[in-house]
Amino acid sequence: MEIAETVTFGGSGLNRAAELRGKADEIALLMQDGRARGLPIWRGKPLFAGTGRDRAGWLEIGHQVLDHAAGAPVFLGLDEGGPRFGYDISAWQPEQLPDTLGAFFDSSEQVHPGLGADFAFAELRGVMTRIGARDAELIVTAKAVLNWHRLHGFCSACGQPSVVGMSGWQRDCPACGAHHFPRTDPVVIMLITRGNKVLMGRSHGWPEGMYSLLAGFMEPGETIEGAVRREVFEESGVRVGRVGYLTSQPWPFPSSLMLGCQGEATSDEICIDPEEIDDALWITREEMMDVFAGNSRRLKPARKGSVAHFLIWHWLADRLD
């Protein structure tokens, strides 16, 4: 697929400078570089700047907001020569916590008193189509790695506390010497078609009318093609023949890699597993065009910025080759 990397979070060619991660002295010098900037993330919500929240809220190293960080920052790479770091400042307590915190989509924003109104912590899902490719790559990297540190404070080999190593890209166990690395969970998401129609499904708890492409986590010892066929059959009862890879998308909710695929169904009948999904249905190309145009009373289009929206849009435009 020639336009594969134009998907949101598709990558910007960031110089991750991985060769510097184990050089503590050089990292310390980079933090003193006048071009160095840090991105604070509060409870999974990055700091954004601008009235339209259309860019990352980079702060100078040493800014008071970054003082809330409980642990060491993660070295993200070099942006046009300028070092970039990610900080987890979840320890900061705003004056008021919204009821929507932790919900499927949290529309609230938090403003730190040490920053102006042009800066706010916001849900990435709500602004991901507005930010540039470089900010997007840096944000999803920081968000995923910092979340991994939050959940993996103990050694999985011996159970003892682990410590941060390699400038945030590793955790080491002082007790048994084991090393642990950030994980990325592969997820297949598939555009399953049969003739002029596409298979759509909805998960339990989704907003009313929200449908998307079927998706599921890959299992150990499984190929991408095998995962596509298994997940589609488990969720909908539909059999799939030919499978092809289209694109990938880092998805930091919390740390997945979406593997976008196309598959040809060899059966029509739908028999959902109610433990897996809430509903599934076939939608014709003409019906989907109405959905994307906002003219459907039954369905809402997949969220802009998601790989599902990307694949369906280009299927409608006949640009998947």
pLDDT tens for 121-141 read 999 999 999 999 999 999 999
What would the two tokens of residue 58 be? 């980079």
What pLDDT shows up at residue 101?
A: 78
Q: What is the mean pLDDT of residues 80-95?
A: 95
Nearest Cα residue to 124 out of 305, 313, 314, 312: 305
Q: What is the mean pLDDT of residues 287-303?
A: 92
Query: Does the pLDDT value for residue 96 go beyond 90?
Result: no
Residue 265: pLDDT band by 50, 70, 90 thresholds? very high
Residue 1: pLDDT band by 50, 70, 90 thresholds? low
Q: What percent of the chain has pLDDT over 90?
A: 88
Torsion of CA 259, 103, 164, 140, to 10 degrees: 40
Residue 11: pLDDT band by 50, 70, 90 thresholds? confident
Other C-beta atoms lying within 10 Å of the C-beta of residue 244:
16
What pLDDT shows up at residue 275?
A: 93
Which residue matches tokens 């048994």? 176
Nearest Cα residue to 253 out of 133, 102, 131: 102
Which residue matches tokens 């310390």? 28
Q: Which of 94-108, 208-222, 232-246, 273-287 has the lowest mean pLDDT?
A: 94-108
125 Cβ contact partners less than 8 Å away, ≥ 6 residues apart:
105, 253, 303, 305
d(CA 273, CA 236) in angstroms, rounded, equals 7
Q: Residue 106 to residues 52, 57, 138, 221: CA-CA distances in angstroms?
A: 17, 19, 21, 36
Nearest Cα residue to 232 out of 302, 282, 286: 282
Could you list the beta-strand ranges (E) of 224-286. 240-251, 256-265, 279-284
Query: Does the pLDDT value for residue 185 go beyond 90?
Result: yes
Indicate the SS3 state at residue 140.
Answer: helix
Query: Does the pLDDT value for residue 179 go beyond 90?
Result: yes
d(CA 130, CA 21) in angstroms, rounded, equals 30
Q: What is the mean pLDDT of residues 297-321?
A: 93
Query: Does the pLDDT value for residue 50 go beyond 90?
Result: yes
Other C-beta atoms lying within 10 Å of the C-beta of residue 107:
11
Nearest Cα residue to 158 out of 182, 177, 142, 143: 177
Query: Does the pLDDT value for residue 213 go beyond 70?
Result: yes
Rg value, the chain, Cα:
21
Query: Does the pLDDT value for residue 276 go beyond 90?
Result: yes
What pLDDT shows up at residue 105?
A: 78
What pLDDT shows up at residue 207?
A: 85
228-243 per-position pLDDT tens digit: 999 999 999 999 999 9
Amino acid at 132: G
- Looking at per-residue confidence, does 104 or 166 come out higher? 166
Nearest Cα residue to 213 out of 195, 230, 196, 235: 235
Q: Which of 1-10, 26-35, 44-53, 279-288 has the lowest mean pLDDT?
A: 1-10
Query: Does the pLDDT value for residue 170 go beyond 70?
Result: yes
Domains, the chain, with CATH or none: 4-151 (no CATH), 153-182 (no CATH), 185-316 (3.90.79.10)
What pLDDT shows up at residue 106?
A: 87
d(CA 212, CA 174) in angstroms, rounded, equals 45
- Which one-letter DSSP state was computed for residue 73? P
What would the two tokens of residue 321 be? 């080759």
